[in-house]
Amino acid sequence: MGAAHEAFEMFRTMAPRQRSDILRRSYDLMIERLDDLALLMTLEMGKPVVESKAEITYAANFFRWYGEEAVRIDGRYSVNESGAGRMLTMRQPVGPCLFITPWNFPMAMGTRKIGPAIATGCTCVVKPAKQTPLSMLMLGEILEQAGCPAGVVNILTASSSGQIMEPLIRDRRLRKLSFTGSTEVGRRLIEQGAEQILRVSMELGGNAPFLIFEDADLDAAVDGAMIAKMRNGGEACVAANRFYVHESVASEFADRLAARMGQLKVGRGTDPDVNVGPLIDEAQRSKVAELVDDARNRGATIAVGGERVDGPGYFYAPTVVTDVPDDAAFLKEEIFGPVAPVRSFSSEQDVIRWANDTEYGLVAYVYTQDINRAFGVIEQLDTGMIGLNQRLVSHAGAPFGGVKASGYGREGGHEGLHEYLQTKYIALNIP
Ligand code: SIN
């Protein structure tokens, strides 16, 4: 924290164009080294190389996008309502930040915090997940080569985070905390950050509903479901967690989804034919298996998958579960694995109620070709993001984030930049 604190005094006054160039050069280096970075990521956390490449491109885009924004941070000048006096506002960097990043997207979850921090003149300490320190260390090397001054981005790896995080969070030099991970850990961090009133951004768990109405384009819905469910092997907080399908198309959708899921090849991420890699560890695989067993024991039907796959890794078969009862645990809990529960609905009001019946509120997916219905439904869904006939909501210019127990604050886009700026207002005595 000392290094981040010292570097802040210099970095906050560095010319915006220079900070922008650091980000642009980092973007270029990431794209130049795409193959090496992707291989490292796959070896580190298991996802297929093609998915690692997609993540690195996504990650690099945060640097490019925020490099473009670094030179556009502005303020406001206005006349006081009485006509006597003027008001000036400027936006300044919040100060040294602490970033705690997860293992599922080991680079992108870092760049979408580091990018806006550098753009605004903030410095940071980054603590990557203990399962994936190498991707973040490679990113650190790239930033250094791109000319990022010493002390601006400090990477701290640890196998047991609790012990080192608490003193850092309580360090009086820290001004902002940004965390991506589970709601349970997020709650604890918010409590710790409250002591010194830290600016806090929390990107926490999800339980995304995927709604398919009777007028949806079913081909697009099946394609969309495959991505919304299976990107990153289902280990994503935006992964579709529950499929609610109108009764008139539910069995056709489930059959088609099961057929597609059954064709996916599970195996080592370095094998070019593989579509689905291993889960991150045995604890995660057991959790996924328990959720499927719970549904099976309550009378659900396993349309495809539903079992561990042997091999040198924590593999679990892509799974579709139908006839899902109300009390199945995975309707309430985040699965974080390749399992798609499908339920049918008959009324729009029921499905909206079911979709909102969760403590989470990150994202929902809606498939319908009726624009009036689409907006009627979207306005009633309690989530921070919606994919309307759109399977992927994530990109650098979008304000990513949730409501309820999915957290607060936004990452990406202009909103993501504001998280690193504080407003100073100057009252001017100008008649
Ligand atoms: C996440 O799963 O935490 C984020 C996924 C994304 O940015 O698309």
Per-residue pLDDT of 1-33, as tens digits, reads 999 999 999 999 999 999 999 999 999 999 999
> What local confidence, expressed as pLDDT, does residue 139 receive?
98
Mean pLDDT of 157-165: 87
Active site residues per annotation: 203, 237
Report CA(238)–ligand 1 centroid distance (Å): 6
Residue nearest to atom 5 of ligand 1 (CA): 236
> What local confidence, expressed as pLDDT, does residue 373 receive?
98
> Given ligand 1 and candidates 237, 241, 392, which is best to mutate, with the most ligand atoms within 8 Å of its CB?
237
For residue 393, which atom of ligand 1 is closest to its CA? 8
CA separation for the pair 178, 203 (Å, rounded): 8
> What local confidence, expressed as pLDDT, does residue 334 receive?
97
Q: What is the DSSP letter of 264?
A: P
Indicate the residue type of 277.
G
Is 360 exposed, middle or buried, given 0-12, 13-18 or 19+ CB atoms closer than 10 A? buried
Ligand 1 and 394: CB distance under 6 A:
yes
Report CA(22)–ligand 1 centroid distance (Å): 25
Confidence of residue 160 (pLDDT cuts 50, 70, 90): confident
Q: Write out pLDDT tens, residues 303-353.
A: 999 999 998 899 999 999 999 999 999 999 999 999 999 999 999 999 999
The two tokens of residue 320 are: 């579709």
Confidence of residue 431 (pLDDT cuts 50, 70, 90): confident
> What local confidence, expressed as pLDDT, does residue 364 receive?
98
CA separation for the pair 308, 310 (Å, rounded): 6
Residue nearest to atom 3 of ligand 1 (CA): 237
Report CA(108)–ligand 1 centroid distance (Å): 8
Report CA(333)–ligand 1 centroid distance (Å): 17
Report CA(172)–ligand 1 centroid distance (Å): 30
Mean pLDDT across the chain, nearest whole number?
97
Confidence of residue 175 (pLDDT cuts 50, 70, 90): very high
Q: Write out pLDDT tens, residues 233-278.
A: 999 999 999 999 999 999 999 999 999 999 999 999 999 999 999 9
> Given ligand 1 and candidates 394, 410, 411, which is best to mutate, with the most ligand atoms within 8 Å of its CB?
394
Asked if the model's pLDDT at residue 162 lies above 80, the reply is no
Confidence of residue 60 (pLDDT cuts 50, 70, 90): very high
> Given ligand 1 and candidates 238, 335, 400, which is best to mutate, with the most ligand atoms within 8 Å of its CB?
238
The answer to whether the pTM exceeds 0.95 is yes
Report CA(26)–ligand 1 centroid distance (Å): 21
Asked if the model's pLDDT at residue 163 lies above 90, the reply is no
Mean pLDDT of 112-130: 98
Ligand 1 and 105: CB distance under 6 A:
yes
Contact present, 208 and 335 (Cβ < 8 Å): no
> What local confidence, expressed as pLDDT, does residue 279 receive?
98
Indicate the residue type of 331.
L
Q: Write out pLDDT tens, residues 183-194.
A: 999 999 999 999
Mean pLDDT of 405-417: 98
Ligand 1 and 201: CB distance under 6 A:
no
Residue nearest to atom 6 of ligand 1 (CA): 394
> What local confidence, expressed as pLDDT, does residue 343 receive?
98
CA separation for the pair 98, 246 (Å, rounded): 45
CA separation for the pair 185, 182 (Å, rounded): 5
Ligand 1 and 180: CB distance under 6 A:
yes
* Higher-confidence position of 306 and 164: 306
First to last CA, the chain: 45
Confidence of residue 161 (pLDDT cuts 50, 70, 90): confident
Residue nearest to atom 8 of ligand 1 (CA): 394
Q: What is the DSSP letter of 323?
A: S
